[in-house]
């Protein structure tokens, strides 16, 4: 008998009919001879609606109470799913994060899972029940307070439970039937992958692909969890994310996929004195402002005066972090000694990811040729061992992604199937 963890996102449990549909699927999985643990997110837009209520009460919500509020969302969806399963003749019981033994640190709003003690889940499974678990939430043992894991945290709940229960497989359900070579909403010729190695999946998640939450993928890699991405609305086997040894006999593809991210801002710090320690000074200030930097590029140029060498440093960061970083940099202009700041919100980042890049040469050449042929200007370039990212003007990002997708031979002849709903 296999133990299967299934995670259903907010769009999969968006209303009573969808909840009944999920109930049916879950019962079928159990009837096929499996023990089943189901992790659910809050219904549809519930989390946003609760957040709106909090914002009506205060601009600056206390983190402990905000977590108490938001965790009501999964409580509602998990109880409804358990009701639907019981009504359909199977047995199920729902458990909050705390009841399921999801122990976290005390960082409200973005807690990390420290330990999983799923005794009650095991009990329920042993008694033949389907266990329904609230995603996104846990509790801190010292303070005995409820915590949340941050956006997308339900994926992490599912993978962590799968690891703790030594589950045979962890299935992440959404309205797309697997991991694609690109976002099929944007590039209809995108091809579904049957397999992807976990490192490439990590890079894709980091590069802005919305299909899996990056912390969940990291967790799966670390604990060697067999992770699958499937659709709630089809029976397609989906995409298997191959971790650790499981990937040994799989031939690595050169390029697994293309991800596009339009949520970033580029800041160029123009005319920094080209002296040792200046970059460190700059990024200390950025870090103190509390921003997550993504790409960094430095060009050293000759200044107006021949002896006066200066650099330009460009970096990208989430749009939402840009205002506080600009304010911090402006406050320290004299100290750093730069000439001016240029801020560009209208950028797109396109990343090409593939574990095979380690051993195959010519990947960058293919990429740059494709963009040159399409007449697209590259503003920044950054690379990792298995990823190349370029920044373009936001209006050219989709064209760039399509050109790259084609150049690497990823196009499918069949158009991708995208189901109703908005994702996770």
Residues that bind a copy of itself (CB under 8 A): 15-16, 19-20, 50, 53-54, 56-62, 64-66, 68-69, 71-72, 75-76, 78-80, 82-84, 86-87, 92-94, 99, 120, 144
Instruction: Kindly tell me which of 95 and 338 has the beta carbon lying closer to a copy of itself.
Output: 95
Nearest-approach distance from CB 229 to a copy of itself, in angstroms: 27
Count CB-CB contacts under 10 A for residue 149.
Answer: 28
d(CA 168, CA 2): 6
Nearest-approach distance from CB 117 to a copy of itself, in angstroms: 13
d(CA 194, CA 264): 30
Among 105, 122, 123, CA closest to 114? 105
Instruction: Kindly tell me which of 82 and 165 has the beta carbon lying closer to a copy of itself.
Output: 82
Instruction: Kindly tell me which of 82 and 225 has the beta carbon lying closer to a copy of itself.
Output: 82
Q: Cα torsion for 301, 305, 308, 309, to the nearest 10°?
A: 10
Q: Which residues contact 311 (CB under 8 A, 6 or more apart)?
A: 271, 272, 273, 274, 278, 279, 298, 299, 300, 301
d(CA 175, CA 10): 10
Instruction: Kindly tell me which of 36 and 167 has the beta carbon lying closer to a copy of itself.
Output: 36
Question: Encoding tokens for residue 229?
Answer: 């991405």
Instruction: Kindly tell me which of 142 and 330 has the beta carbon lying closer to a copy of itself.
Output: 142
Nearest-approach distance from CB 74 to a copy of itself, in angstroms: 9
d(CA 284, CA 360): 36
Which strand (E) or helix (H) includes residue 123?
helix 119-126
Residue 240, Cα to own-chain centre: how many angstroms?
A: 16
Count CB-CB contacts under 10 A for residue 187.
Answer: 23
Instruction: Kindly tell me which of 13 and 410 has the beta carbon lying closer to a copy of itself.
Output: 13
Nearest-approach distance from CB 56 to a copy of itself, in angstroms: 4
Q: Cα torsion for 194, 198, 203, 205, to the nearest 10°?
A: 70
266 contacts 293 by C-beta, under 8 angstroms: no
134 contacts 78 by C-beta, under 8 angstroms: yes
d(CA 37, CA 14): 20
Count CB-CB contacts under 10 A for residue 345.
Answer: 12
Nearest-approach distance from CB 233 to a copy of itself, in angstroms: 19
Instruction: Kindly tell me which of 43 and 207 has the beta carbon lying closer to a copy of itself.
Output: 43
d(CA 211, CA 177): 10
Instruction: Kindly tell me which of 54 and 328 has the beta carbon lying closer to a copy of itself.
Output: 54
Instruction: Kindly tell me which of 72 and 336 has the beta carbon lying closer to a copy of itself.
Output: 72
Nearest-approach distance from CB 87 to a copy of itself, in angstroms: 3
Instruction: Kindly tell me which of 59 and 330 has the beta carbon lying closer to a copy of itself.
Output: 59
Nearest-approach distance from CB 162 to a copy of itself, in angstroms: 23
Q: List 34's β-bridge partners, or say none.
A: 2
Nearest-approach distance from CB 40 to a copy of itself, in angstroms: 12
Nearest-approach distance from CB 328 to a copy of itself, in angstroms: 26
Instruction: Kindly tell me which of 20 and 141 has the beta carbon lying closer to a copy of itself.
Output: 20
Nearest-approach distance from CB 212 to a copy of itself, in angstroms: 28
Nearest-approach distance from CB 23 to a copy of itself, in angstroms: 8
- CA distances to 72, 209, 213, 356, 420 from 199, rounded to whole Å, are 34, 14, 13, 11, 29
């Amino acid at each position: 008998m296999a133990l299967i963890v299934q995670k259903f996102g907010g769009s999969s449990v968006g209303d009573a009919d969808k909840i009944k549909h999920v109930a049916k699927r879950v019962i079928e999985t159990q009837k096929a001879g499996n023990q089943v643990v189901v992790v659910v997110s809050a219904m549809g837009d519930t989390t946003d609606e609760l957040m709106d209520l909090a914002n009506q009460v205060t601009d600056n919500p206390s983190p402990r109470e905000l977590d108490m509020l938001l965790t009501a969302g999964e409580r509602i969806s998990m109880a409804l799913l358990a009701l639907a399963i019981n009504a359909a003749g199977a047995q199920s019981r729902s458990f909050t994060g705390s009841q399921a033994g999801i122990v976290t640190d005390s960082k409200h709003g973005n807690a990390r899972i420290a330990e999983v003690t799923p005794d009650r889940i095991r009990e329920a499974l042993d008694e033949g029940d389907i266990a329904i678990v609230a995603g996104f939430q846990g509790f801190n043992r010292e303070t005995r307070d409820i915590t949340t894991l941050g956006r997308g945290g339900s994926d992490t709940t599912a993978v962590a439970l799968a690891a703790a229960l030594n589950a045979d497989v962890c299935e992440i359900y959404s309205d797309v039937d697997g991991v694609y070579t690109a976002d099929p909403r944007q590039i209809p010729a995108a091809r579904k992958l049957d397999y992807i190695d976990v490192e490439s999946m990590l890079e894709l998640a980091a590069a802005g692909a919305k299909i899996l939450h990056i912390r969940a993928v990291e967790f799966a890699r670390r604990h060697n969890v067999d992770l699958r991405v499937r659709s709630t609305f089809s029976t397609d086997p989906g995409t298997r994310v191959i971790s650790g040894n499981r990937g040994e006999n799989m031939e690595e593809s050169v390029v697994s996929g293309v991800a596009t991210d339009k949520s970033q801002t580029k800041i160029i710090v123009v005319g920094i004195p080209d002296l040792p320690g200046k970059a460190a000074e700059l990024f200390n200030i950025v870090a103190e402002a509390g921003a997550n930097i993504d790409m960094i590029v430095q060009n050293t140029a000759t200044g107006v005066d021949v002896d006066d060498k200066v650099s330009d440093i460009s970096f990208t960061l989430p749009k939402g972090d840009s205002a506080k970083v600009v304010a911090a940099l402006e406050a320290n202009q004299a100290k750093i000694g730069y000439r001016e700041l240029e801020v560009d919100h209208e950028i797109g980042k396109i990343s090409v990811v593939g574990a095979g890049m380690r051993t195959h040469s010519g990947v960058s050449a293919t990429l740059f040729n494709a963009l040159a042929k399409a007449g697209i200007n590259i503003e920044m370039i950054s690379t990792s061992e298995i990823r190349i990212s370029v920044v373009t003007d936001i209006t050219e990002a989709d064209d760039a992604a399509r050109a790259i997708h084609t150049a690497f031979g990823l196009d499918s002849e069949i158009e991708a199937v995208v189901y109703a709903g908005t994702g996770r």
